[in-house]
A and B are shown apart, each in its own frame.
Chain A
Amino acid sequence: LTGMPPFHFHLQEDSRLIEDKVGLELSDEASARGQAMQAACAMAPDLFVNSQAQRLVVDLRQDGGSPVVKIIISLVVEEP
């Protein structure tokens, strides 16, 4: 679409790795960071409630593999 190299959003759900080989074409790094944040927040309820996972990592990388940012969401349940 933009001719820009794609950003890759690798996921880690507890110990399960889901590699994003294809990636997403986005206009710039800021919008990729926005997508990572949005995706992590959107996926968390699904994972924590429906799949009983406790930790979600969105590992955003440039096309060559260099890291941009990691968004980590952990579930903590405290019993009294």
Chain B
Amino acid sequence: MTISAPTLEIAVLVLGVLILLVEAFADRIDKRSLAFAAILGLAAVFVASFFLTPAPVEVPAGSLWNFYTADALAIFFKRFALVATIFVLIMMVDCAPIVRESVPGTTHQSGLGEFFALPVFTCVGLMWMASAIDFVMIFVSLELVTMSFYVLVSFTRRNPATLEAGVKYLILSALSTGFLVYGITWVFGVTGQTNLARVAAALSDPAIESGPALFGMVLVLVALGFKIAAVPFQLWVPDVYQGAPTPVTAYLSVGSKAAGFVVLLRVLQPFFMLPQMERLLVVMALLTLVYGNLAALPQSNLKRLLAYSSIAHAGYLLIGVVCLAGEAIAFYLVSYLLMTLLSFAVLIVVAKQTGDNIEDFNGLAKRSPFLAFAMMIAMASLAGVPFTAGFLGKFYIFDAAIRYHQTSLLVVGVITVACGFYYYLKVVRAMYWETSVSDVAVPLSGLSRAAMTAMVAAIVFLGVYPQPILNALR
């Protein structure tokens, strides 16, 4: 049995609509079962993604394949989006009591159904984005993702911090969308094309004016810089990450970032023959690395720390972008998905008992050795200790930089890695060195424990044996 690639998105979309319908008409069921249904459905789509028919080689004009590709990179990131969404939904089940408290409504389950349905729609957007090779398509799928995030970020709206996060995200995101459309207009104005392949062909014509095209591209870069949280478009990140419900933060930092990088890789390809572009990206990568890592050093709130760390990781990923190392970026994003989601998953469970400051993790090794161990693996991987996936991610990125002789990026990269060891190990220190604030064991549901075990196993497995990921990219 074979399936054509767009069927996957349609299936996920139908799944989302079904969940909304069931939630609207079946009032009495436990709404958490909707989340389990979504998880099962997404898992089925994930399995189905291994039985795809290859995309047509010759693209007939005017067909869907003009703005949709099903190349290895696209399929890979579709699976990536599915896995990320499944883990986020598992975290959301853990978060259900918090949502109940902070969403106004008539019944005690108000809002839960939408909370579980929206990530499915985001997932559709992410999957479309992975396949988009036309500016129009990129814009539409990006908007689908952003729209559902507007709602998700401000979902627990009784909490003022969440509202603040929602407003900030809305305004800045809308602004960046404006930049994106304006940039696309400029590129279209110069080349007369929106399809990326044809834009590249038009740009290679020496008669064309590269200045305005470059200006348009810089505007697109601004918009994407916002999505991936690159300096100087990172200002929204700490507040939004801290204020949003934690599963949404995790989703934002993994899904939104991964999609941004895929689009960036695709969009930049035609423009890389212009030398100014590379210099601009190097500067952006340097700033992102330095800012993200230095600002993370003094943080005392774990969610904020992870926000800055997500900026820092955007910096390492930008090194890969400068070198156009798609494979390295893909592997880094996979490792980033695992370790970030794992740390947020532990954070959700611990924060329910004590809070989300680093000092609330004091003595976690006594209260819950399993959670402390999982968190230690996540932190070690984020810092880049060998035998974890995070190390191999940095390994491939640094290798790409060596291949392209990006000395400045290498020097700054090594210094910032050392910074990273400090702030990630700060969490390990709290868990293992400090004495506990309470002796009550942290409750942990079976599903979350299974998900965390799977992520720990995946981090260590990929840290020793990366070949499956490299094969999947081919």
A interacts with B: no
Q: Which residues of A contact B (CB under 8 A)?
A: none
